[in-house]
Amino acid sequence: MIFDVLANAHRYEALHPLFSKAFVFLRETDLMALAPGRYPIEGEKLFALIQEADGRARADAQLECHRKYIDIQLVLQGADEMGWKPLCDCREPVAEYSDKRDIRFFFDAPASWVSVPAGAYCVFFPEDAHAPLVGAGSIRKVVLKIAVNGSGEG
């Protein structure tokens, strides 16, 4: 997991061939003007999800993980207190992994929490279980989905 601000994004561009394009999108797009929904950037390899939701309590948030996609979750308004736990330490799955939705949920409690203010982001890799959208009040964010293997295929 990475927790940082966009001013430092250049430090991470070498981690994946699509990170540079992802960070350009975050820096150069008027994200507040986009309605909630899905926005293609490079087909299934890289796309954005604009989300708006009321924050939930820690107890109501479930850890989740993805196999096909890396998440870059940039908070635009409010603060998102995201839970985190290494996937290898998760022992209580809710159900089997859904290949169609690229997600698996867990009953496990996060090992730690990070309060992500507007303008900051977290990067979650497939080995990072995470519990987003925790907080008081409304949260607006963009989640970039970046295909792990660069193709958007499993």
What's the DSSP call for residue 17? Answer: T
Among residues of the chain, what percentage have pLDDT more than 90? 96
Residue 154 has pLDDT above 60, yes or no: no
Quick: pLDDT tens for 36-84. Answer: 999 999 999 999 999 999 999 999 999 999 999 999 999 999 999 999 9
Among residues of the chain, what percentage have pLDDT more than 70? 97
Look at residue 77 in the predicted model and tell me its pLDDT: 98
Is the model's pTM score more than 0.75?
Answer: yes
Topology of domain 2-147, CATH: Jelly Rolls (2.60.120)
Number of C-beta neighbours around residue 106 at 10 A: 21
Look at residue 153 in the predicted model and tell me its pLDDT: 58
Of 52, 63, 57, 13, residue with least CA distance to 143: 52
Q: Residue 137 corresponds to which tokens in the numbers above?
A: 């009040």
Residues 6+ apart with CB under 8 A from 149: 68
Give the pLDDT band (50/70/90) at residue 150: confident
Quick: pLDDT tens for 80-100. Answer: 999 999 999 999 999 999 999
Residue 151 has pLDDT above 80, yes or no: no
Give the pLDDT band (50/70/90) at residue 139: very high
Number of C-beta neighbours around residue 134 at 10 A: 22
Domain map of the chain by residue range? Answer: 2-147
Long-range pairs of 30-34 with CB within 8 A, sequence gap ≥ 24: 31/74, 31/76, 31/142, 32/76, 32/77, 32/140, 34/142
Average pLDDT of the chain? 96
Segment 122-133 mean pLDDT:
98
Burial class of 41 by CB neighbour count within 10 A (0 to 12, 13 to 18, 19+) = middle
72/116 Cα distance (integer angstroms): 12
Length reported for the chain: 154
